[in-house]
A and B are shown apart, each in its own frame.
Chain A
Amino acid sequence: MKPAPFDYVRPASVGEACRVLAESGGGATVIAGGQTLMPLLNLRMSQPFVLVDINGIPELKGVSRVEGGTRVGPATRQADALEDETLARHLPAFITALGHVGHYQTRNRGTIGGSVALGEPAAEMPATAVSLGATIEITSSARTRSVPADEFYVGPYMTVLEPDELVTGIVYPDWPDGHLVLFREVAQRAGDFALVGLVGALALEGGAITRAGIAWFGMGPTPIRARQAEAALVGASLAGIDAEAVARAAVADTAPFDDHHASAEYRRTVGARIFARALRETLDLRSAA
């Protein structure tokens, strides 16, 4: 298999990369780790004229603390992020979800930004960004802007990124110390895209939930925030939480579809089940069943 012909450029700076993107008039595609893009190129489902390789841009790599949060460079390898102590300390939900991304071999090459920017609806990293309230930093030759993750995704593999724009950072806000991680997914095999999954964080104070951020993956055309469930949880005391009812509210926000792996009905049923189970386990609630 061979991709359709393209020109390859490896800019050394964000400015240079943006210049190439602007000059290509929409015919360019950015490659980071390429673990999803390369299959699309090999299968000729994607046929760019120019491939812009951002692996040679040092400023796009690494994890740093910023005011009120943690900033992840988009070209940071998934395997490196998994070992990162700052992320482990401040974003345990991110680390939990990242452990489920692809395989050992693809995480060695794949990047955080590639996964976030591609917007595969069944992938863990876009939903993680949405659930934790991350902000996507975007740059082009003309301007720089920041977009909240839950406004970034518009459809399967579709985001608000313009053809001349580049993701230059993902900033995850701090959550209170000791916050809890919510994560569950059902996939046919380890490393496969999830049929249904959820990720998020819950903050507690004095036996009540003070902050909740939860998002689904594989449950619609984009990652989907479980807004009704978040609203039901915030302010609730642990004793007063009905996990099944919250799970039903969470599923009500989804829009799953049928495909050859699972029906929409299956996704809703399993979604409600794993949501309730995740809540019970994370909050140590007793099962109603």
Chain B
Amino acid sequence: MSEHAIELTVNGHCHATRVEARTSLGEFLRDGLGYTGTHLACEHGVCGACTVMIDGRAMRSCLMLAVQADGAEVTTVEGLAEADGTLHPVQQALKDNFGLQCGFCTPGVAITMACVTRDNAGVEAPRMEDALTTAMSGHICRCTGYQGIRRAIRQLAGAST
């Protein structure tokens, strides 16, 4: 089994270390670097809880090896809020609308929302709402909390609720 030297940036911090080839990025972020905001659940790409931003794109960190993130810029849920603690707009929207119950799926949901709102900045409300709702197919919430998530989406889209 091969081991590899990797260097990556997580939430603006540089990390240089060695990883086993078979270590997933999600496992490495949690157990290797201590970014436990990233939640691992199904670990085979179904639930979306482990979604992180890699070079600006939302991806499942269980479906990627740590060694493949060599040279990448990773953003986890810990990297969304401002340094002074001001929540990212998607975090604020989730908070305002009870868009979470147990919170296990929330880090992934927030990352996806952050990517989609950034990519669709400036579009009219229905299109933003549609883009966000469609992207939510990649997340499973076992608290059945989808209505709160949808309210957060409508707030983010600027739609009248």
Contact = CB atoms under 8 A, between A and B. Distances in A.
A6 B2 CA distance: 7
A232 to B, nearest CB: 36
Given A5-B22, A7-B2, A51-B21, A105 B64 contact: no
B138 interface: yes
A36 B138 CA distance: 15
A157 interface: no
Contact of B58 (A4, A35, A51, A104): A104
B161 interface: no
Given A2-B22, A6-B21, A42 B48 contact: no
Given A42-B24, A42-B44, A106 B138 contact: yes
The dominant DSSP class at the B interface is mixed
Contacts of A3: 22
B80 interface: no
A43 B44 contact: yes
A27 to B, nearest CB: 13
A21 B138 CA distance: 33
B59 A8 contact: no
Interface string A1-35: 11111111110000000000000000000000011
B112 interface: yes
Interface string B47-76: 010010010011110111101100000000
A1 B116 CA distance: 29
Contact of B21 (A8, A39, A42): A8
Interface in A102-120: 102-106, 108-109
A58 interface: no
Contacts of B116: 104
Interface residues of B, number: 32
Interface in B105-155: 112, 116, 134-135, 137-138
Nearest to A5: B1
A55 B24 contact: no
Given A2-B22, A105-B59, A191-B138, A35 B68 contact: no
A1 B23 CA distance: 10
B64 A34 contact: yes
Nearest to B27: A2
B4 A109 contact: no
A35 B51 CA distance: 13
B51 A7 contact: no
Contacts of A53: 68
Contacts of B21: 5-8, 51
A9 B65 CA distance: 12
Given A7-B21, A42-B43, A189-B137, 12 more contacts: A1-B44, A2-B23, A6-B21, A8-B65, A35-B63, A103-B137, A105-B60, A106-B138, A108-B58, A109-B60, A190-B134, A191-B137
17 contacts: A1-B43, A2-B27, A5-B21, A6-B2, A7-B21, A9-B2, A38-B64, A39-B44, A55-B68, A103-B137, A104-B58, A105-B59, A105-B60, A105-B112, A106-B60, A106-B138, A109-B60
Closest 7 CB pairs of A and B: A103-B138, A39-B44, A5-B1, A8-B21, A38-B63, A104-B135, A190-B137
